[in-house]
Amino acid sequence: MRVIPVLIAILVTAALYIAVFQREALVAFALGDAAAQQPQTEEDAGGDIAENAQAIAPSISVVALRSQAQEVDSAVILRGQTEAHRQVDVRAETSATVISEPLRKGHFVEAGELLCHLDPGTREASLSEARAQLEEARARLPEAEAGTSEANARLQEALARLDEAEINDNAASRLSEGGFASDTRVATTRAGVRAAEAGVEAARAGLESARTAIQSAKSGVQSAEAAVATAETEIDRLEITAPFAGLLESDTAELGSLMQPGGLCATVIQLDPIKLVGFVPETEVDRVEVGALAGARLVSGREVQGRVTFLSRSADPTTRTFRTEIQVANPDFSIRDGQTAEILIAADGLMAHKVPQSALTLNSEGKLGLRTVSGDDLVEFVPITLLRDTIDGVWVTGLPDQADVIVVGQDFVTAGVRVKASFGEVTP
């Protein structure tokens, strides 16, 4: 049995285990007893213990990159879909049979173009009857107005007779007081006054009756006009037209089919311009503004541009996101309703650093960040936020305006360790 190869394998396994799983203990052993007492988390390292450890430990060589923050364009990235600018189901408002040939789906229609023509039936006759009744009602109105004039004349005549009767009664009363008229004459004149008053009341009643006749005639005219308008509206409903220019998403109603109120004639959609609809998370909503430039990449790979036309003021109660709409020109209708799109909305620029992707590392708590070299050659761990990934590096935020980022050897040092940094160009 070969004992030496087995022992070598065991020793290699043990060395790998110590190097991978016991790295902190191995570094502490290399630094000495003072460094072995330092805290296990990078954020807690420091103080007198770190100073003592650095006084004992030798410097570790690393390669660093001097980075200066730059202002880069930022964008809010969303997942969304295309949506027709307008879409409507054109429906019937009356009951009749379709007498027009159907238009097929995909046909382009102009605003006001006929989609479905319904059988008029007896509606034309109903309209003629309503118009005849209107003419008859209008003819009654002058007659009623003439009756009012006649009743008014009778009232004036009755008032004149009353005045005459009152004068005669007044004269008879005075003559009777002087003994020049008999009591019979006085009684006769008083009876004439009462008769004249009764005539006045009758004339006034006739005038009111005439005025009532005028109101009735006017009501008859209005009722006839309403009947004519109803008949005309019913005829207008026989022609169902497109409310706007667009494409037919369905065939129009078939020839001979019976349409009921609410029955579907056709579905029309407007695809130019078309909308891109996405939902902005509440953490990014303050970065989006109406009128901002936006772009999108469809699943087919096509890229389009437009501007934000709407941003919801109310969040979706389930997802806590805000609906946003972007208007994009689509003159050839090549962008369809319901296509998935990756949307980018331009936002204010941010100060960021461009570093090699290989420089990214994790601390003992699992936070993503970079290890940098401070002014006294000590290692610091700085948590960062990824802004954008490119082919030649990543843009990150969270670093100061100037930073010496360790790009080689960052996985072999921890916060508080003294290093000897050399600077140079490093391929991301």
Cβ partners under 8 Å of residue 424, min gap 6 = 63, 65
Q: Token digits for 411?
A: 């996985």
> How confident is the model over 372-401, as pLDDT tens digits?
998 888 999 999 988 777 788 888 888 998
Question: Within this chain, do residues 244 and 115 fall inside the same structural domain, yes or no?
Answer: yes
Q: What is the pLDDT along the chain (428 residues), one digit of tens a residue?
A: 466 776 677 776 776 666 656 666 665 555 554 444 444 444 444 444 445 544 445 578 889 888 888 877 677 888 999 999 999 999 999 999 999 999 999 999 999 999 999 999 899 999 999 899 888 888 888 877 777 778 788 878 878 887 877 787 787 777 777 666 666 776 777 787 788 778 778 878 877 887 887 888 888 888 989 999 999 999 999 999 999 999 999 999 999 999 999 999 999 999 999 999 999 988 888 888 899 899 999 988 899 999 999 999 999 999 999 999 999 999 999 899 999 999 988 877 778 888 998 899 998 888 899 999 988 889 999 999 887 777 888 888 889 989 999 999 888 888 888 888 888 654 44
Question: Within this chain, do residues 144 and 245 fall inside the same structural domain, yes or no?
Answer: no
The pTM of this model reads: 0.55
Question: Within this chain, do residues 223 and 127 fall inside the same structural domain, yes or no?
Answer: yes
Enumerate the H helices of 237-321 as residue ranges: none
Contact 23, 411 (CB under 8 A): no
In a domain, 162, yes or no: yes
In a domain, 247, yes or no: yes
Distance CA 181, CA 340 (A): 115
Q: Token digits for 53?
A: 């450890």
Q: Domain boundary residue among 236, 257, 284?
A: 236
In a domain, 218, yes or no: yes
* Phi, psi (degrees; rounded to nearest 5) at 317: -65, -20
Q: Token digits for 340?
A: 């998935």
Crossing angle of helices 123-177 and 183-236, in 10° steps, is 170
Which CATH number fits the domain that encloses residue 393? 2.40.420.20
Distance CA 250, CA 267 (A): 6
Which CATH number fits the domain that encloses residue 229? 1.10.287.620
Contact 185, 176 (CB under 8 A): yes
Q: Write down the residue that tokens 């364009």 correspond to.
A: 73
Collapse the DSSP code of 415 into the 3-class scheme (helix H, G, I; strand E, B; otherwise coil) and give the result: coil
Question: Within this chain, do residues 113 and 246 fall inside the same structural domain, yes or no?
Answer: yes
Q: Write down the residue that tokens 């005028």 correspond to.
A: 214
Residue 37 is predicted with a pLDDT of 45
Question: Within this chain, do residues 169 and 264 fall inside the same structural domain, yes or no?
Answer: no
Q: Token digits for 367?
A: 């936070």
Domain boundaries, position 390: 3-72+351-423
Question: Within this chain, do residues 207 and 254 fall inside the same structural domain, yes or no?
Answer: no
Cβ partners under 8 Å of residue 319, min gap 6 = 279
Question: Within this chain, do residues 252 and 104 fall inside the same structural domain, yes or no?
Answer: yes
Which CATH number fits the domain that encloses residue 244? 2.40.50.100
**Beta bridge partners of residue 397, listed in sequence order:** 385
Distance CA 327, CA 340 (A): 15
Q: Domain boundary residue among 236, 253, 288?
A: 236
Q: Write down the residue that tokens 């390669």 correspond to.
A: 63
In a domain, 77, yes or no: no
Residue among 355, 358, 352 nearest 410 (CA)? 358
Angle at 352 between CA 390 and CA 319, to 5 degrees: 75
Question: Within this chain, do residues 60 and 197 fall inside the same structural domain, yes or no?
Answer: no
Distance CA 316, CA 242 (A): 33
Question: Within this chain, do residues 45 and 136 fall inside the same structural domain, yes or no?
Answer: no
Question: Within this chain, do residues 101 and 205 fall inside the same structural domain, yes or no?
Answer: no
Distance CA 121, CA 415 (A): 91
Q: What is the CA radius of gyration of the chain?
A: 49
In a domain, 107, yes or no: yes
Question: Within this chain, do residues 186 and 244 fall inside the same structural domain, yes or no?
Answer: no
| Number of domains present in the structure of the chain | 3
Question: Within this chain, do residues 230 and 375 fall inside the same structural domain, yes or no?
Answer: no
> How confident is the model over 122-167, as pLDDT tens digits?
999 999 998 998 888 888 888 777 777 787 888 788 788 878 777 8
What sign for the dihedral angle of Cα 419, 423, 424, 428?
positive
In a domain, 316, yes or no: no
In a domain, 99, yes or no: yes
Q: Token digits for 137?
A: 């009602």
In a domain, 315, yes or no: no
